[in-house]
Each structure stands twice: as structure tokens, then as C-alpha cells.
Amino acid sequence: MELPSRKVLEGTARAPHRAMYKAMGLTDEDLNRPMIGVSSTCNEATPCNIHLGQLAQSAKRGVSDSGATPREFTAIAVSDGIAMGHEGMKASLVSREIIADSIEVMMRAHGYDGLVGISGCDKSLPGTLIAMARLNLPSIFVYGGTIMPGEWNGKQVTVQDVYEAVGAYDSGKMTLQELLSLENVACPAAGSCAGMYTANTMASVSEAIGMSLPGSASPPAESERRHEICYNTGKSVMSLIDANIRPRDIMTYEAFENAIMMANAIGGSTNAVLHLLAIAKEARVKLTLNDFERIRKRTPHIADMRPGGMYVMLDLDKIGGVPVILNALLKKGLLNGDVMTVTGKTMKQNIESMTFDLSQGKEKVVRRLEEPISSEGTLKILRGSLAPGGAVVKVAGVKSKKFAGRARVFNSEEEAFDAVSKRKIVEGDVVVIRYEGPKGGPGMREMLSTTAAIVGQGLGEKVAMVTDGRFSGATRGFMIGHVAPEAMVGGPIALVKEGDQIVIDTAKSKIDLLVSKAELARRAKKWKPIKPRYTTGALAKYASLVQSATVGAITTPVGS
């Protein structure tokens, strides 16, 4: 392939450019090699990212040993866990776009020939993959790794337990000392949240879509294997350059089908829907919500992962990681095995080159396909009079298939959380949180503080929630998000009144507001959107550009 770096570094006119590099210690020999960007989202904002600078050094050694020259740079990353439950969460989804844009800008500005992208927290994974698809330069994604679970009262715990413990404390089911003791042990070290929440979901998806080395998703953040994976990732980019294999050769329609299948098989985060739609847009693949529902119906749910199940990423790693699931799906004839991957081999070739020990003892982290947790996948798309454009619910661990109740309407997450914490939400309520969509929030906040408080109070399947915002991967229960059209653009969710009846039927994929069309038309005539919450700065810019959740809440024009 023609190397972009040659246009930056070759010829007499580029003497000043070479001089700048030599100021940083590079030699003519270094500059005659391909230049590889090594991007990480390292920062001190979150345990998910705090160690990524160290992993970047391992990746850089791999790049150097392959005969290329690494150039390290960083992008931002928001801690969803720390941003949760207050204004800060509005910046979370916005950060996905900033991460993608900053990686793109760095790569274009300096003419790097390939990319190793290392990330750890929820939005940094899709942000990095979006940039790779957009740039279409030889690239490999590598995950920063999962945190180890904590131990409390003889059981594994994660940050999900702490969020739910807040609700238990508010309802008198837990003492303050118990809450504090749980808080002290739930997150023991570096790494992304331990369950099959958004980060681990997207890490699993990165293998399924072919953009990560096989087996790279599950090893813990602070294991030696994680450094080895980063070294091997750095070393592998040159092979892609030599073979001229680019992200859009890998991220095809069939690869996205594999990614959707993985998210459903593992009971993954609802955010996977939003992020895969956005990545597909940049990969120039036409993906819709209908594709998600089609793939879900033929994908068995086989991994018993938190929050809907029992196990964490470490448990999956102990039995062989994501390739165990890919192998099972391939053998059943469900996976597209002929798709290209970053190894330069097909998915089928990768899997057939690996050996699997399928004995799991007493623990059944991954079920046999003949005995799945459920015969269908877990990320269900709902439609109906309340969400004509679609909505998403994760049915993993949810026993009921139908919920009917009275609407309790709130125009912000703060209002809803206040009502929950004061025990004003009771059995049979449908908590409606609106004006938290991509434009209305702006930023489509996750609602884990509120959903976890509801679960902690023992109302997990006795109360439903409906929002044009999002949910954390740690959310469980009758929680419906991504409602479209959102309230800010006049969607039906904007017209709901206190006490209206709402019916959710996951078996029929329906979500309906039991109000006549005539009454809704009358309400629509009187409706006015709320005033924009931000008129300057990044959030105002995002609100002016962002598209519907049905296309991934992207900021790139839909028609481009």
C-alpha cells in the first residue's frame, strides 16, 4: 500500500518535518520506516483507563519489533461510573464522538500509516472503532481489560452491587456500615467494570467483528497476558500494511451480523445497539434496527453473565474467553465464518487454529447450544404507539414478558431519582423519564443510579421504566431505553401524562401508550419543546448535530 507518511517525510521540502521528529530523538532510520499511531485513552479519571499508558508501551515495543516506528498519543475518556447520576453523564455519549474525532485528527494531521487503538471505558471502545472505520487505515483494536471482581460476604461483587446497595440503604434493607464496607471492596484495582456491562460487551464485540486479536477481550487488566496481547497487537499491524487489509475489508455487513450475534449470546449491554449502528455508519455498512431483531431471533443466549446472570468477565476468561462462544456459534452454523479478521485469516480459520477445553466443572458460564438460557437473544427491539421509531430492552434475567401500569412522568433523571429515593414510586408504576434523549439531554444519559435504586428497593420487576435516554450495561429489570422519536422532537413520549396506561409486551415486541389517536393529536397541538439546556459549548454543538438513537446517535450527517 502507498504509505501516507511518505508524503510527510520524504523530499527536501520535508526537511523541517524531519527536524521536528529528530528533536524528539528519532533517527533517519526511524523515519524511513512506516509510522504507526498508538492511541490510548489513558487518564486518571477512571480505573478503566489509568493503566493504559503502560499497555501502550507494550504495544509500542511490538510495533518497533515489527519494523515500524510507533508514535503515541492519547484521547479523552469519560468515566461513566463517576459521571453517573448527575449532570456529568450528559458528557458521556458526547465523548464517543470527541474520541473518534480526536483520533481521526491526529492520524490525518501526521500522516500515520496504521493504528493501534487501546481503550478501556464504555465510550472509548466504540469511539476508537468509529475512528478506525472512518480512517480506513490498517488498524487493530485492543481492550484495556476487565477489573477483578471484589469479594464481600463471601460472594463476588462489582460496582453494580454498590449502585443497587444505595436503593437497599434508602429502603432500610442495608445499614450505612454495610454500604461502606461494600463500597470499599467492590472495585479492587485497575480495569473496566467486571460484569458483561458496556465495556466488556464492546470488547467481546470487537473480537466478533474481527478487529481484535482472538482471545484478547477477556484477560484481566493487570495480568501479564494483557501486556503480551498489546505487544502482539503492535507487532501485527505491519502484517495488515503488507497485505493492505483495512478496517472496511473486515467490518462488512456479515461481520456486523456476527457482532450482533455476540451481543445477544452474552446478554450484553443495550448500548451495543447504539454503538454498532454508529460504527456501521462509518464503515459504510447499511445496518438498521430490523437487522438487530432478525439476528436476535436466531441467536441463543448462552453466556450466564452479570447483570442478568451470575458470572463476570474473569469467569469467562478462565474457560477460554470469547473464542469459546464464537466456536459454539460457528459449529452450529450461525456465525459467518468466512469474514476477514485482523489476523489476515478468516474467522473460521482463527477458531479452527485454537483448542478449547469445554469442561467447566460446576460453573456453567457458557451453556451448551442445546441447553441455552434462552432460545433467543437478549437485546429486543420494541415498537408501538409510544415508540414508533423503536426502543431497546435487555430481557436477560427478566422473568416477566408483559408489564402494564400507570405512567409516572418526569422531565429529567434528577426528578425521577428524587421520587425513587423518597419511596414515591410503587408497584405498578411505569417511570417515564423524557427529555433525556440525544438532543433533549443532550447526550442521552444512562440511568443506572435510578434503575439500580429501584432494583435495590426490591421493585425490579414490579416497576417498569421507559426513557428516551439510555441505560448502563449494569442495568437490569423491566427497563426500556432509546425510545424514538425522542421527546425533544415531539415524539409520543413527550405527550404522556401522569396516570396514562402503558403496556409493554416483550413477547410481541410492543410498547404502547393506551391513549386514543384523537387525544394524542389534541395534546400534540398544545405541545412545545423545553428550552435547550445548553446554548454554548460542546453540549450545545452536539445537540445541534446529533441524529436519532435509531441511527446510533451519530453526529455525521445521515445522508453522507
Active site residues: 472
**Residue linked to cell 515500524:** 68
**HSE-up of residue 352 (Cα within 13 Å, Cβ side):** 9
CA–CA dist 66, 404 (Å, integer): 60
Is 479 in contact with 451 (CB distance < 8 Å)? yes
Instruction: Give residue 243's identity as a one-letter amino acid code.
Output: A
The C-alpha cell at 546 is 446529533
- CB under 8 A, 24+ apart: contacts of 283-286: 283/133, 283/247, 283/248, 283/251, 283/252, 283/256, 284/248, 285/251, 285/252, 285/253, 285/256, 286/253
The C-alpha cell at 417 is 431519582
Backbone angles phi, psi at 32, to 5 degrees: -85, -5
Is 300 in contact with 369 (CB distance < 8 Å)? yes
Cross-strand bridge partners of residue 403: 504
Element holding 522 (H helix, E strand):
helix 517-526
Backbone angles phi, psi at 308, to 5 degrees: -80, -20
**484 contact partners, CB below 8 Å, separation of at least 6:** 387, 388, 389, 390, 391, 437, 468, 491, 548, 549, 550
Gyration radius of the chain over CA positions: 23
| Tally of CB atoms within 10 A around 6 | 15
Backbone angles phi, psi at 192, to 5 degrees: -85, 155
Using the CB atoms, write b or e for 538-548: b if 16+ within 10 Å.
Answer: bbeebbeebbb
CA–CA dist 268, 272 (Å, integer): 7
- Three-state SS for 410-468 is ECCHHHHHHHHHCCCCCCCEEEEECCCCCCCCCCCCECHHHHHHHHHCCCCCCCEEEEC
CA–CA dist 308, 476 (Å, integer): 6
